[in-house]
């Protein structure tokens, strides 16, 4: 769980669809500040995720409302407000956000958060596109930021859907060697169901649109400056191979077989099959190359022999004594 050095009683975690907490990995080479916690988590493409806040009795700012925003790959997609009544409960307070919420035709909907593959272009098309550098620099991170606030009045809720777009393709050079192979997104389930039922069926566990409880929207005044939240939780998500490349987890090949889960065993077998396939392909290519070289060598040898025979069979006439 992500905790802060300078603030007690506050935890933020990423949950998988089965409500199990994502294991977190700490980069020991980087110093953590008092109000910023940065952890790595494993991401699986196609998997949904949820964000959980846990305010414990020791939380020091229970007399203030707390606003918390969620940023996916550098883009703010939603926020929550925890009021003082909830924060002051003797047992503490937990809340979970599973997607970006919006209002449509008088109802509130939620677009589930999920991880998705990042298409990397090895030919580096669009490397100099405007804004690409900034977008790529934020890839692979879920950021949760918190401020102390005062409510100044109720606001009419917006009917606009969140304006968040996943990157279709990223030039390989733009990543500059970073072990990023995925991106975060929210699935536009509501629009999919209205347009194409067969596409919705492909979403499997998402099913129909998710109608959520009404959301109250407030005007607020920040006690902390907006550019200085009192707490920041960064979750850098990577594939298993990405975490291995960073040295944060041991490679499956280096771990005892009996310590691997069923899922890890399947991944190990998959890797071994891919390696065998790649090795077999290389051997085939080398064999074909050698056969070609042997054929070329034999042909050159035959030509040399032909030339030798020709020179030996030529009759010469000595005219020096005539």
- Other Cβ atoms less than 10 A from the Cβ of 273: the count is 10
Q: What is the token pair recorded at 20?
A: 């199990």
Low-confidence ranges of the chain (pLDDT < 70): 1, 19, 29, 119-137, 156-209, 283, 285-322
Q: What is the token pair recorded at 143?
A: 């950021």
Query: Residue 29: which domain range?
Result: 10-249
16 found inside a domain: yes
2 found inside a domain: no
3 found inside a domain: no
| pLDDT for the residue numbered 129 | 57
Q: Are residues 129 and 204 in the same domain?
A: yes
Among residues 219, 234, 249, the one where a domain terminates is 249
Give CA separation, 58 vs 38, 93, 187, in Å: 22, 11, 36
Q: Are residues 119 and 260 in the same domain?
A: no
208 found inside a domain: yes
How far, in Å, CA of 163 to CA of 123, rounded?
29
The structural domain count of the chain equals 2
């Amino acid at each position: 769980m992500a905790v802060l050095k300078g603030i007690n009683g506050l935890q933020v975690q990423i949950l998988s669809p089965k409500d199990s907490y994502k294991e977190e990995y700490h980069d020991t080479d980087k110093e953590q500040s008092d109000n910023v916690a940065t952890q790595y988590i494993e991401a699986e493409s196609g998997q949904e995720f949820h964000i959980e806040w846990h305010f414990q009795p020791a939380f020091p700012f229970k007399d203030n409302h707390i606003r918390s925003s969620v940023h996916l790959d550098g883009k703010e997609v939603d926020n929550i407000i925890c009021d003082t009544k909830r924060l002051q409960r003797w047992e503490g307070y937990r809340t979970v956000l599973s997607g970006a919420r919006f209002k449509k035709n008088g109802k509130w909907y939620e677009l589930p958060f999920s991880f998705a593959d990042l298409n990397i272009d090895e030919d580096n098309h669009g490397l100099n596109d405007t804004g690409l550098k900034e977008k790529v620099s934020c890839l692979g991170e879920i950021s949760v930021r918190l401020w102390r606030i005062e409510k100044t009045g109720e606001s009419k809720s917006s009917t606009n859907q969140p304006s968040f777009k996943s990157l279709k393709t990223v030039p390989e050079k733009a990543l500059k060697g970073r072990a990023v192979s995925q991106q975060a997104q929210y699935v536009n389930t509501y629009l999919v169901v209205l347009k194409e039922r067969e596409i919705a069926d492909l979403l499997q566990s998402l099913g129909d649109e998710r109608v959520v409880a009404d959301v109250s929207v407030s005007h607020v005044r920040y006690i902390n400056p907006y550019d200085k939240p009192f707490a920041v939780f960064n979750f850098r998500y990577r594939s298993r191979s990405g975490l291995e490349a960073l040295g944060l987890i041991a490679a499956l090949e280096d771990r005892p077989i009996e310590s691997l889960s069923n899922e890890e065993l399947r991944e190990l077998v998959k890797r071994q099959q891919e390696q065998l396939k790649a090795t077999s392909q290389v051997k085939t290519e080398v064999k074909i190359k050698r056969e070609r070289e042997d054929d070329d060598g034999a042909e050159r040898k035959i030509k040399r022999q032909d030339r030798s025979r020709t020179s030996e069979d030529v009759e010469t006439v000595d005219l020096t004594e005539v």
